[in-house]
Structure 1
Amino acid sequence: MQPSSELRVAAVQCPILWNEPEANLRYIEEQLRGQETADLLVFPETILTGFSATAADYADREGRQLEELSSLARRYGKAIAGSLLTALEGQLYNAFFLIDEEGQVQLQPKRHLFAPGGERGYVQPATERCIFSYRGWHILPLVCYDLRFPVWCRNVDKEYDLILVVANWPKPRRAVWQTLLRARAMENLCYVVGVNRVGTDPQGLIYTGDSALITPRGEVIAEAAAGAEEVVCGSLSYEPLSELRRKFPVWADADRFTLEL
């Protein structure tokens, strides 16, 4: 399938209600109902619960939350992405989801679990890396801490066009988040859309968001205001990406690595 010439993306920078999946589902529906221009709405990591060990008690072990998200995507004719805690083959994962307008679900578990947050105690890491497809665009899905690891993000032979990364990335490390979004775009010659939450969680962590849409040259298409609940939209154009790769083929000289999973 040929990529669509334009992909309209909305980064939904928002707070998350702590361990309240139903209320957060209602928030997602409100955003879908009010969005007229975007093809794809991207929400932060663990959008239905927030990020904590107690969130495992509210995980999607029966697949019902994914079913509801799929129903919302079909009802409003919009694709949605984010991450949630869900069970796959009997194991619990923090999984990135992308659900298209027809309700079709693609999942990628988080690979790098955040030990300081206790994540290793309640979810399992990914054992393979998937490349998603949406409207002909090839997409690398990343969940928060995955962004720090360039080997996992390596774009070999132009296998993807866009990185979508969703996060609960706190304020003390905001400069790292902002820097890595741009670095991953430039080193992999791809678009990057990073969506982080805002607000304060019950653990006392503050989140400033700093969500952004970045070009393969590291330029900002759109960026949310720090700390604000805000939806920022932008259109990603395929032709400039293709032309840049043709004129500046650094991808052909990239080092190759073997991942040990």
Structure 2
Amino acid sequence: MPEEQLETLSVALIQTDLYWEDTTANLSSLEEKIAALPENADVIVLPEMFPTGFTMNTKMAEPMNLTTTKWMKQMAAQTSSLFIGSFAVKEGGRFYNRLLCVKPDGTYSFYDKRHLFTMGQEHLSYTGGESKLICSWKGWKISPLVCYDLRFPVWSRNAVSDPYDLLIYVANWPARRAHAWKTLLMARAIENQSFVVGVNRVGADGNGLAYQGDSVALDYLGEPVAMLAAVETEKIVRFSKDELNKYRQSFPALSDSDSFEIN
């Protein structure tokens, strides 16, 4: 059966505090928050490492298709939504900060975080990814990335011939660098002529780092569609494919992009 094609895509931003290294508590809490959404969303976005917080403790990593993967499949099926979020994965003797895009039918694609946060010694615990992911869902092309990836515009560069429509960042981005978070998200939207969603956590983690959320949805001009306050909250936003295409046709800056390849 062909997948439904949508002109308007609804996206739920789940901005939450996280229990430190407690997968059971986090999945339970998130399940309640998702159940409380006022309506169904086509896409549901969770923060980076949503089962544990941003931990370098690889004992918290899971093999694929166990607790968190099964939970994401279950929730995607229950809500008929595309579920997006990252968690620590153990595979082949290595560890990855892996983002999954899980569809309601249980199929999924994944992206391993490319840029590991060296100042937090993430590179000492996890292996960086080598390829990007474009997830197709209901006629939309979605490019999901993870936290520190936001600082590297070449990696998020939109393709001229087959551009994505929505760029998503899941994050544990500390409050002391909030200005960079807000500014770079706007820049990514403007330069890629794309809708952008950034979902960050709130609260404090086990290392004492504070997070103020600032989750946001932006249009292709970098203008806010929604901006979340520094509290646990959920927000559903809507993006129009027709408006995006009309803007790209009226101001075709992508066609003037430099041509290069990433090695």
Give the TM-score normalised by structure 1. 0.94
- Establish whether residue 121 from structure 1 lines up as the match of residue 158 from structure 2: no
The root-mean-square deviation of aligned C-alpha atoms, in Å, is 1.5
CA apart distance, 1:256:
2.4
| Alignment correspondent of 2:158 | 155
Query: C-alpha separation between the residues in 2 aligned to 1:238 and 1:10?
Result: 17
Query: C-alpha separation between the residues in 2 aligned to 1:132 and 1:114?
Result: 24
CA apart distance, 1:147:
0.6
Is the Cα contact below 8 Å between 2:40 and 2:79 reproduced in 1? no
> Where in structure 1 are there 5+ consecutive unaligned residues?
none
CA apart distance, 1:8:
0.4
Q: Deviations over 1:188-241 (max 9, x none)?
A: 00000000000011211110110010000111111101x211112210110010
CA apart distance, 1:75:
2.5
| Alignment correspondent of 2:194 | 190
Query: Any residues of structure 2 matched to 1:172-183 within 5 Å, and which?
Result: 172-183=176-187
Q: Deviations over 1:4-38 (max 9, x none)?
A: 10110111111111111111111222123222232
Q: 2:59 aligns with which of 57, 60, 83?
A: 57
**Identity among equivalent pairs (%):** 38
Query: C-alpha separation between the residues in 2 aligned to 1:79 and 1:138?
Result: 12
Q: 1:84 aligns with which of 71, 83, 87?
A: 87
Q: Deviations over 1:82-116 (max 9, x none)?
A: 11111344432101111122222121010000011
CA apart distance, 1:259:
1.3
Is the Cα contact below 8 Å between 1:3 and 1:238 reproduced in 2? no
- Establish whether residue 103 from structure 1 lines up as the match of residue 109 from structure 2: no
Query: C-alpha separation between the residues in 2 aligned to 1:228 and 1:14?
Result: 8
CA 47–31 in structure 1, closer or farther in 2 if over 3 Å, else same: same
Query: C-alpha separation between the residues in 2 aligned to 1:88 and 1:245?
Result: 41
| Alignment correspondent of 1:19 | 21
CA 193–148 in structure 1, closer or farther in 2 if over 3 Å, else same: same
Letter matched to residue 23 of structure 1? A
Higher helix proportion (structure 1 or 2): 1
CA apart distance, 1:2:
8.0
CA 62–130 in structure 1, closer or farther in 2 if over 3 Å, else same: closer
| Alignment correspondent of 1:199 | 203
Q: 2:49 aligns with which of 46, 49, 73?
A: 46
Query: C-alpha separation between the residues in 1 aligned to 2:150 and 2:78?
Result: 32
